[in-house]
Amino acid sequence: MQEKTKNMLLAIVLGLVIGLGLLVGISTVVSQAIEPLTERMVVLTAGQSRLEQKIVELDKGIKALAVSAPSKMPPPAPPEDLTVYDIPVGRSAVLGNVNAPVTIVEFSDLQCPFCARFHAPLMEAVQAFPGQVKVMFKNFPLSFHPNARPAAKAALAAGVQGKYYEMIAMIMKDQANMTPEKYNEYATQLGLNMEQFTKDLQEGDGILDSWIREEQELGVKVNVQGTPTYFLNGKKTKARSVDEWKKAIADILKDGKSE
């Protein structure tokens, strides 16, 4: 009996020893498995902290840059010019009825591609109101268009013989070939007296140049800031297409306004 009790106690002790060993082993394994995860969590936490700090610093930098750097937003558009200007005929050739109730003044540069683009629609629209609209073309050659002034002189020389608007239409239609030879070709096609045309260009160069300067100075007085600039009964207009011109002209005629 004592022997059995002794064996049972021995078995219990042995079991406890084995169980304890197993627990120690499992604890070691678990500890070894958890340790890298713990270290990684520490690293991740530290990384997150650094990232948050970087974000804070970046945000501060952006705010500081926004305060110190000049604005990249485009400047606001200038207010619309609602002034009604008194624009005299001067030496301009008048197209249409000189007593028409609607007057359109065009300040233009014969080498300017936008002037060429918008001149034709204006001429087309005017034809829809026979006797009711007159057009005055004013030369405003820009300094960076070297062919604009010689072309203006050729048009003025043609205007001496009554073919001003025909000449500027030809010049604008082929701005890639703005040469004295071309102007002579146009003058021939228009049936001009070539001897007089050549004389007006050569001997009258100074006179033609003074006419152009007069129109440029007038343009500055009426706040022309680029080409083309159009005035409808003395007021600047944004009309450019045929339909826009027709509507603008019709509105004036409907309201009974005159120059």
Handedness of CA 206, 113, 101, 234 (dihedral sign): negative
**Which helix H or strand E contains 39, and what residues bound it?**
helix 2-68
24 vs 97, more confident = 97
pTM for the whole structure: 0.69
Say how many residues make up the chain: 259
Closest by alpha carbon to 129, among 169, 168, 102?
102
- Contact criterion met (CB below 8 Å) for 134 and 87: no
pLDDT confidence bin for 216, thresholds 50/70/90: very high
pLDDT in tens, 143-199: 999 999 999 999 999 999 999 999 999 999 999 999 999 999 999 999 999 999 999
pLDDT in tens, 118-135: 999 999 999 999 999 999
Q: Using only C-alpha atoms, what is the Rg of the chain?
A: 44
CATH topology of domain 94-255: Glutaredoxin (3.40.30)
pLDDT in tens, 157-173: 999 999 999 999 999 99
pLDDT confidence bin for 26, thresholds 50/70/90: very low
- Contact criterion met (CB below 8 Å) for 233 and 181: no
